[in-house]
Structure 1
């Protein structure tokens, strides 16, 4: 009976697994092609990624993907044309998919995009600027994980219109949290480069806050005012202040703890809980206290 249940489960989940894989592949292709140069390491990672999804290989369009990639590796098709052909197949799959969910698919595309950027172990300036453009074009993903975190990180990195090596390593470290490459040597290289970087929750940049009926929690030591005053302001604007994080929490206001790593991340028990809830699909928005205070000042 248990084996029968497992077979039934496979039937029901195969479609969603294929949808997720196609969306991820679409992002990988975007990431690989951002810098307009497609190298051997990227093609090899693409091949290994498809092989890793061999359980789906008999489903259209995965069998087509494998054929196209194999022909490219054997030099029968130019790499740039291969990427275009594969991307076209992904788009065709989406347009034919009755159950297509735009937000879910775009989030899967974003994670695939980060995968593609990281595929050769190098993050170029052009890839960072082009990723920023993609994020700006997909602001409907605001409040969803990992869009807010990646957007905040990119905004911080590009704030001075220059990218230094420390910032590049921080970005690698963040991508490395949810991207695991099939190429063992490149993955080891990235793990080594980012071993000393600690990335926690990232507050959203340019937050859009709705107060009426929404639940707010505060964590950390506030540099502007105190918790009681801020909670009273939240009530005046129609919000509901709470003392603890839960699935019902809409916003977590994070006090500036003066940590020198603040430019990239914030820390704490409530932050960790909020981030875990975000990863599970709950749309809790993390906001730096200074950004939140500016919003409150404009409304009161």
Structure 2
């Protein structure tokens, strides 16, 4: 019975899974090609991506994708030509109606770009500057994770117009939060290089909060007011306060707790669960309590 239910679910979700895979692949290709060079480690990561999506091979245009990747792996066509052919196939596929809206698809592309940058375990200057350019060209993603946090981090790194090794490692540590590298060798290398880096939670800046019918959860100790008052204000504005994080949670309000850094690790399971859900494609927005209070004050004043 469970097998039948799983098969039925696969039928109903095949379109969404295919579209998400295409968006991720498009981003992966952009990321791999940002520095204008394609190396063996990047092609290997592409091969592993293909292996990870074997269940979609019978759905067009995945058979074409797999054939092109196979030609690159077996050196029947040059690596750079493989990337260009795959990107062309992605663009052809975009002519069909997308299951996801434009914002979600572009966020999937962004995650793919970061995957492509990390594919060989190295982040070079050109990749960082080209990523900044892509972020500048896609400001419609402002207030969405991971665009909001990533753009703040990139701007900070490039503020002095130079990139040192420490900043490079910080970027690597940030990328790996929402990128799953398939190569065990590259993944181990990245984990080793970033083992001493503690990424702080850069919450959405200038958040655009919709209350009506949306679900809100609070974590940490609030410095301004208390949870009961905040729950009451959320209800007044049409929101739904909850005590736990689920896939239906729209916003996680992070208490300041007197700690200006408020690293993810300081807040335990709720923030960790929110980050893991965001990795899986759920658009949970993390908001600092002060920013959230400002939004409420403006609406209730």
Q: Same fold (TM over 0.5)?
A: yes
Give CA-to-partner distance per residue, 1:153-198, whole Å, 9 cap, x none. Answer: 2122222222111111111112112222222211111111111222
Partner Cα separation in structure 2 for residue 160 and residue 289 of structure 1: 29
Give CA-to-partner distance per residue, 1:89-120, whole Å, 9 cap, x none. Answer: 11111221353521221111111111100000
Gaps of 5+ in 1: none
The aligned residue for residue 91 of structure 1 is 91
* 1:268 correspondence with 2:240: no
Judge which range, 24-33 or 128-137, deviates more: 128-137
SS where residue 190 of structure 1 aligns?
Answer: helix
Give CA-to-partner distance per residue, 1:55-111, whole Å, 9 cap, x none. Answer: 212221111112112222333323222211111111111221353521221111111
* 1:14 correspondence with 2:14: yes
Give CA-to-partner distance per residue, 1:204-233, whole Å, 9 cap, x none. Answer: 34x2556998989796686xxx659xx9xx
Residue 13 of structure 1 deviates from its aligned partner by 1.7
Q: How is 1:108-257 mapped onto 2 (pairs within 5 angstroms)?
A: 108-205=108-205, 207=206, 252=253, 255=256, 257=258
Partner Cα separation in structure 1 for residue 194 and residue 251 of structure 2: 32
Q: CA 1:44/1:220 → structure 2, altered by over 3 Å: closer, same or farther?
A: same
Partner Cα separation in structure 1 for residue 291 and residue 20 of structure 2: 37
Partner Cα separation in structure 2 for residue 41 and residue 26 of structure 1: 18
SS where residue 123 of structure 1 aligns?
Answer: coil
Gaps of 5+ in 2: none
Q: Residues 253 and 292 of structure 2 are in contact (CA less than 8 Å); yes or no, is this contact kept in structure 1?
A: no
Q: Residues 94 and 100 of structure 1 are in contact (CA less than 8 Å); yes or no, is this contact kept in structure 2?
A: no
Give CA-to-partner distance per residue, 1:23-59, whole Å, 9 cap, x none. Answer: 1110100000001111111111111211221121222
Q: Residues 218 and 227 of structure 1 are in contact (CA less than 8 Å); yes or no, is this contact kept in structure 2?
A: no
The TM-score with structure 1 as length reference comes to 0.77
Length, aligned pairs only:
288
Partner Cα separation in structure 1 for residue 239 and residue 4 of structure 2: 49
The aligned residue for residue 281 of structure 1 is 282
The TM-score with structure 2 as length reference comes to 0.77
The aligned residue for residue 52 of structure 2 is 52
Partner Cα separation in structure 1 for residue 52 and residue 271 of structure 2: 34
Partner Cα separation in structure 2 for residue 87 and residue 148 of structure 1: 26
SS where residue 158 of structure 2 aligns?
Answer: helix
Partner Cα separation in structure 1 for residue 120 and residue 252 of structure 2: 37
Give CA-to-partner distance per residue, 1:110-148, whole Å, 9 cap, x none. Answer: 111111000000001111111111112222222222222
SS where residue 167 of structure 2 aligns?
Answer: helix
The aligned residue for residue 107 of structure 2 is 107
